Amino acid sequence: MFKTKIGEFDGNSWEAFCQQCFRLKYETEGYQYMPAINGDYGIEGFTRTGLVFQCYCPDNNTDANTLYEAQRDKITKDLSKLELYEKPLSVYLAGCAIKTWIFVTPEYRKKELVKHCRTKADEHKKLNLSILDPDFDVLIHDLDNFTKEVPVVLNYLNRGIDISPDEIDDNQHLLWKNTSISLVDNANRKNKMLLNTNAINPEQKIDLLTTLTIKNKLDGDSIVNRWQNSYPEDYERFLRVVDVIEREVIITCMNPTADNMKRYQEFKDLVYSKLKATFTNLAEPMLLSLRDKVIADWILNCPINFE
């Protein structure tokens, strides 16, 4: 699966997602889906205004060079089908010349891919194919070309936005732990109060709880950073909602409780319910990660205190 800023995709799920985006964005241009039975002829849909689309999603996340090579080869291969299937394509296009062939992929990382598209466009113009416009062009579109359509389509497909955390190894966790001493002390003190007084090996369990707290924070931070870049309005709303809940938590913590773990769970439930009600466009895994990040922040800092 290929991880993107809105979730994971494979080839089939990416095409299904793209098809809904095309239908929504190009409805007024007469978008027409092309089923791939017996071959896709190098296009998976077209508009009556001369746009054609070919979708591609890598099998997994790779380095920039490997991704570039895979995308470059896919573009070359599928564009060659325009010449190979010129006659059958002319029947489907019904006299509508292709002005722009658009390669739709989740992301691309090397500008050389744009150059490759320009080169292939020039090569195909020289073929004088009957189905191509004299000013034929080849472009790349990624997720950012469909920012308006993405939330609508995710909701329609019942997927929800699902941003995964970046890969953070144990060394990064340890480095953060060793450089944020006061926050770690806070977590150790509070996590100790979550344990039963008769707990076996309490120091080991406290250390594990604090390690999990740090992991939840770092994973959540990476998700929130990517969320902020892609959906700044939602991010600002997230900050406002958390701020309101935090005030409620501070007030609650002023009164002692006989069961710290119960109160801790109540806080988790409170955060989750508020986030779920506010962000109906988020997938369950992302909601849970955001909840755990908020709770971790409160454990490491001041809002959550156990008397």
Q: Are 192 and 202 in contact (CB under 8 A)?
A: yes
At 179, is the pLDDT very low, low, confident or very high (cuts 50, 70, 90)? confident
**What pLDDT does residue 229 have?**
85
Rounded (10°) CA dihedral 237, 240, 241, 247 = 180
Cα angle at 156 between 152 and 161, to 5 degrees?
65
132 forms beta bridges with 98
Give the ranges where the chain is alpha helix by DSSP (H): 11-25, 64-84, 86-93, 112-125, 149-156, 170-179, 181-192, 202-230, 232-252, 260-278, 284-300
pLDDT in tens, 259-295: 999 999 999 999 999 999 999 889 899 999 999 999 9
pLDDT confidence tier of residue 38, bands split at 50, 70 and 90:
low
Task: List phi, psi (to 5°) of 134.
Answer: -55, -30
| The pLDDT value given to residue 113 | 98
pLDDT of residue 240 exceeding 70, the answer is yes
- pLDDT, position 231: 85
Of 57-61, 190-194, 197-201, 271-275, the one with minimum mean pLDDT is: 197-201
pTM listed for this prediction: 0.72
> How confident is the model over 112-119, as a mean pLDDT?
98
**Residues 195-216, mean pLDDT to the nearest whole number:** 90
Residue 264 falls in which region: left (phi positive, over 0), alpha (psi -120 to 50) or beta: alpha
Mean pLDDT (the chain) is 92
Percent of the chain past pLDDT 90, that is, above it, reads 75
Tell which wins on pLDDT, 88 or 159: 88
Q: At residue 37, does pLDDT exceed 80? A: no
* Whether residue 304 has pLDDT greater than 70: yes
Q: Give the mean model confidence (pLDDT) for residues 110-125.
A: 97
